């Protein structure tokens, strides 16, 4: 008949009390077995290398605000995946300072690689650190393998960062050259546009300059005419005799006629007789 679970501990205690000699003998056998196993069981040594994680790179300022920061656990997983790769483990397995005896055949090498992988451990240590550990029955092997794993990991990380920086530089250089090419093309299009429209632009500029020059010359003529009138009025106010005043007035008119004729001759050298300024000057001299 099966006993309920609630009564099972009491039944066991009752049986042990009833067979004290047998229970004591079993206890002694188990204790000595554990003690013997402790003496013959090989020691296990654990060595660790602490690595500081630095994710900064050459393009970090350019990509700031565009990427989410990677958690330390993710970086630890990536580091473990890298350390478990055959290329890195093989460098450790073939290091003569750790293993003076080279593997005799590929099977021996595979066994050594599997042994290193089984003893390898990667754990996070705070926000920016993680540890690379190795366990072995030999304390020197544990120390040297852990140290070598840290070295090859740092070297591999440096090579990858160098390649990443080179790729970033090449990318930026291509962008700069692309912008330079676009700028050169824009300048060439501007030059072509200006070369195709040079005649019209120069004609408009020359016409504007001629117009301003004519306005300036007409203003000078009007100024001289006003100065002549002012001189005549000043003579009248000063009580100069009519004959002298008449002579000076005639001289002023002759001077004005001479200036207008010079202006007319100058315009005829540049324009036809139908030019508006020439027509106006001829009417003034008529």
Neighbours of 49 (CB within 10 A): 19
pLDDT in tens, 156-186: 888 888 888 788 778 887 888 887 888 788 7
For residue 109, give every residue at least 6 positions away whose Cβ sits within 8 Å of its Cβ, in sequence order, or none: 90, 93, 94, 103
- Mean pLDDT of the region 123-132: 86
- Distance between CA atoms of 116 and 96, rounded to whole angstroms? 15
CB neighbour class for 92 (10 Å; exposed up to 12, middle 13-18, buried from 19): buried
pLDDT in tens, 11-61: 777 776 777 777 777 777 888 777 776 666 667 889 999 988 776 655 555
Q: What DSSP element (H or E) covers 93?
A: helix 86-93
Of 83, 144, 154, 147, nearest to 117 by C-alpha is 83
264 and 282 in contact (C-beta within 8 Å)?
yes
Query: Phi-psi bin for 269: left (phi > 0), alpha (psi -120 to 50), beta?
Result: alpha
For residue 247, give every residue at least 6 positions away whose Cβ sits within 8 Å of its Cβ, in sequence order, or none: none
């Amino acid at each position: 008949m099966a006993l309920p679970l609630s009564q099972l501990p009491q039944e066991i205690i009752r049986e042990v009390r009833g067979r004290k000699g047998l229970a004591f003998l079993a206890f002694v056998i188990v204790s000595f077995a554990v003690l013997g196993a402790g003496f013959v069981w090989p020691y296990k040594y654990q060595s660790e290398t602490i690595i500081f994680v630095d994710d900064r790179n050459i393009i970090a300022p350019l990509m700031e605000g565009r990427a989410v920061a990677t958690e330390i656990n993710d970086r630890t997983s990536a580091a473990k995946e890298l350390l478990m790769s055959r290329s890195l483990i093989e460098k450790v397995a073939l290091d003569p300072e750790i293993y003076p005896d080279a593997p005799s055949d590929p099977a021996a090498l595979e066994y050594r690689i599997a042994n290193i992988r089984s003893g390898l451990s990667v754990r996070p240590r705070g926000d920016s650190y993680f540890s690379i550990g190795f366990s072995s029955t030999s304390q020197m092997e544990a120390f040297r393998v852990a140290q070598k794993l840290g070295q090859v990991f740092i070297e591999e990380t440096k090579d990858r960062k160098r390649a990443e920086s080179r790729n970033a530089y090449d990318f930026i250089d291509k962008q700069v050259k692309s912008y330079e090419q676009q700028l050169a093309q824009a300048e060439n299009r501007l030059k072509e546009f200006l070369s195709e429209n040079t005649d019209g632009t120069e004609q408009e500029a020359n016409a504007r300059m001629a117009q301003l020059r004519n306005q300036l010359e007409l203003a000078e003529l009007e100024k001289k005419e006003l100065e002549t009138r002012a001189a005549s009025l000043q003579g009248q106010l000063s009580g100069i005799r009519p004959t002298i005043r008449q002579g000076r007035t005639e001289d002023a008119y002759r001077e004005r006629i001479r200036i207008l004729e010079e202006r007319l001759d100058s315009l005829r050298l540049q324009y036809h007789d139908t030019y508006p300024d020439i027509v106006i000057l001829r009417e003034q001299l008529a």
